[in-house]
Amino acid sequence: MKYQQFNEEIIQLIGGKENIQAVVHCMTRLRFTLKDRSLAQTDAMKAMDGVIDVVSNNVSYQIIIGTHVSEVHAELITMLGLSNQTTNEETVEEKKHPLKAMLDLVSETMTPVIEPIIASGLLAGFLSLFTMTGILSAESPTYILLNSIREAVFFFLPILIAMSCAKRLNASPYLAVALAATLVSSSINDVAGLSIFGIHLPQMAYANSFIPIILATWFMGKLTLLLKKYIPKFLQYFLNPVLIMVICLPVTLLIFGPIGIWIGDGLGWFFELLHNTFGSWIVLTLYAAFQPFLIMLGAGNFMMPLALNFVNKMGYDPIFLAAATISDIAVSGAMLGYFLKAKNSEQKQLFGTVSFSAIMGVTEPAIYGVFVKYRKPFIAVMIGGGIGGLFAGLMNVKTYSIVWGLMGLPSYAENQDFANLTFMIISVVIAFVAAAVAAYLLGIPSEKKETASVKEEVAQPNKVKNSLKKIPLYSVAAGELIPLAEVKDQAFSTGALGKGIGILPTSNEVVSPVDGEVMVVFPTKHAIGLKTKEGVEVLIHIGIDTVELDGQHFDTIVTAGDQVTAGQLLATVDFEGVKAAGYDPTIIVVITNTVDYLDVIPSPSGALTSEAECLTIML
């Protein structure tokens, strides 16, 4: 038995055979159902040779082994005297901590809404610039029409929020939007003296708000499931929509509306207290310095509800939006420092590209493409962003519109507040220059090695010049590429199983990213392993925790041993069915033998076709 000693150690550290109720495996990990979790010595297990990581959650106790886990599992169940179980775990609904579940929901809800918010914010900046320069008058019809876009986005924000979060909360998007539209209608929004069923309703302004509609949509999702359970199927089409609306509206007006407004007021009170006691400059400085870490952890959107609440209550945001802009500019400065320091033309192109992207307010390519690899730029941004944020905080810089990045700077002069604009410009200049200087002085960690490699090649002209060969991997599906760090699975997002990317699919076809051989097709059809002639091992993991679906919604076209070419169909997946079953449909593509190569470089985030290059492997 090849893994006997390894399995004996696992059994001992997990609390002995008697503590193991069941053990199954998926593509990369052993999943234990334990009688007593407290008996498991997690830290000792993490230190074992052959164990990548240990994850304990409400579903199971998971020991991440790698793609050879099936061999380990086969020997383990023999040693335990258990029957050869299927790869599926018992169907257990994952229960998150309420606070984490709420933060995840807010972050996921805000992501699609950011697009119209950015458009309205930038428009506000341009309108401020036009009025400052005299191109437009604030009373002109053109100004009024264009400004109506900005006003409409924020007035009807509850409708956008309802559309964004409805599916995540098992509610009908159309009914959620109808409820939100009702709340912002002239009959209800900020109207005094309303009552329902003889109960007096408090006067509430639902326009520009976001918390009441999130709570209302959550309730709508619960009510929808309840009605589907008890209303006969032949009546559901007619009865459910009207019952949902006539129940959700009063409950929202009586309960969720006031609760949402109180939460918003509470947040405003907390930060006002912080401002009056310590000064908001502390929070602004820290956020400007550490925002790249939050983005890397997938928490970059957590500040958006807070900023929206500030703008709604105070007319401006004194902390987060200015800090976000200063941090983005510092990221751009750090990349400029690396651009000036680099001698390699490919590096210069990379640093220059991500520097321009960051100065326009999109820092993910820099953070995931450069910061994670070189690490020292984090220090440069902490220096530049921190100093710039400190200056902005001490000068009480205010952000009047929901906008960030260089293009949003004119909005800081709204209400003819030119001093505010001046201080903000000084802040971003400080952040940019300080981060650029810091990055230049800190240097590029791998530069010396690359220089030595070039010198060696010059000294040995007979050496094969193309020893640094690149292998491109093409996308496995049409959709949106996201950094691996944003994937909601710890084993993959930490890079423990290799470098790679995530894809949010927009089509139901999964194709091969390379020419090679199919090494394994998992029995539940949710994972496929490929190997190229160069030895690159590619794992395509379709969805997160979809092993629990036991192959439902998956139709695999290939089998182990098949030869495939790039672009060849591997599987078709009903992703809507996967989402309806409550699972994340993100496709994860990782190079499981990453350590065998010089580097694995992901392409920048954004839209993908199935023919687009998504990873580059440096041999």
Looking at residue 382, what is its pLDDT? Answer: 93
Q: For residue 439, what pLDDT is reported?
A: 92
Instruction: Give the model confidence (pLDDT) of 47-101 as tens digits.
Output: 888 887 787 765 568 887 776 777 888 888 888 876 544 333 333 334 445 655 6
Of 269, 303, 338, which residue constitutes the final position of a domain? 269
How confident is the model at residue 412, as a pLDDT? 84
| pLDDT tens track for 517-539 | 998 888 888 999 999 988 899 99
Highest mean pLDDT among 99-108, 320-329, 355-364, 451-460: 320-329
Q: pLDDT at position 468, please?
A: 52
**Does residue 21 form part of some domain?**
yes
- Helices 157-165 and 141-155, axial angle in degrees (round to 10): 40
Note whether residue 119 is domain-resident: yes
| Span 263-285, pLDDT tens digits | 777 766 776 676 667 667 787 88
- Are residue 389 and residue 504 in the same domain, yes or no? no
| Pair 479, 504: CB distance under 8 Å | yes
- At 279 the pLDDT is 67
Domain presence at residue 613: yes
Do 435 and 288 lie in one domain? The reply is: yes
Q: Angle at CA 283, nearest 5°, toward 280 and 284?
A: 80
Which CATH number fits the domain that encloses residue 20? Answer: 3.30.1360.60
Which residue numbers are catalytic? 26
Q: What is the pLDDT of residue 37?
A: 86
Asked if residue 145 and residue 112 are part of one domain, the reply reads: yes
Return d(Cα 213, Cα 143) in angstroms, integer: 31
Give the other-Cβ count within 10 Å of 545's Cβ: 19
What is the per-residue pLDDT for 111?
A: 65
Tell whether 95 is covered by a domain: no
Judgement on whether residues 440 and 545 belong to the same structural domain of the protein: no
First to last CA, the chain: 34
The verdict on 244 and 364 lying in the same domain is no
Task: Please indicate, yes or no, whether residues 370 and 392 belong to a single structural domain of this protein.
Answer: yes
pLDDT tens-place string over residues 472-501? 888 999 899 998 888 888 778 877 788 899
Looking at the fold, whether 123 and 170 belong to one and the same domain comes out as: yes
C-alpha dist (Å) from residue 96 to 25, 30, 104, 185:
22, 21, 10, 35
Q: What is the reported pLDDT for 354?
A: 77
pLDDT of 92 reads 34
| CATH number of the domain to which 557 belongs | 2.70.70.10
Least Cα distance to 502 among 520, 479, 523 occurs for 479
Asked if the structure places residue 504 within a domain, the reply is: yes
Q: Is 101 part of any domain?
A: no
Q: Are residues 330 and 405 in the same domain?
A: yes
Tokens at 536, concatenated: 């690159």
User: pLDDT confidence of 369, banded at 50, 70, 90?
Assistant: low
Q: At what angle do helices 98-133 and 141-155 cross, to 10 degrees?
A: 170
387-434 tens-digit pLDDT: 999 999 888 888 887 777 777 787 788 777 788 889 999 999 999 999
Confidence (pLDDT) at 181? 94
Nearest to 368, CA basis, from 382, 358, 360? 358
Asked whether the beta carbons of 59 and 545 are under 8 A apart, the reply is: yes
Residues 295 and 166 placed together within one structural domain of the fold: no
DSSP strand E in 186-250: where? 195-196, 199-200
Range of 192-206, 308-322, 376-390 with top mean pLDDT:
376-390
Q: Are 480 and 594 contained in the same domain?
A: yes
Number of domains in the chain: 4
Domain containing 329: what range?
281-449
pLDDT at 450: 38
Both 331 and 233 in a single domain?
Answer: no
Do 257 and 290 have their domain in common? Answer: no
Q: Is the pLDDT of residue 552 over 90?
A: no
Q: Which of 414, 449, 484 is the last residue of a domain?
A: 449
Residue 343 lies inside a defined structural domain of this protein = yes
* pLDDT mean across residues, the chain: 81
Tell whether 102 is covered by a domain: no
The last residue of one of the domains, among 449, 478, 500, is 449
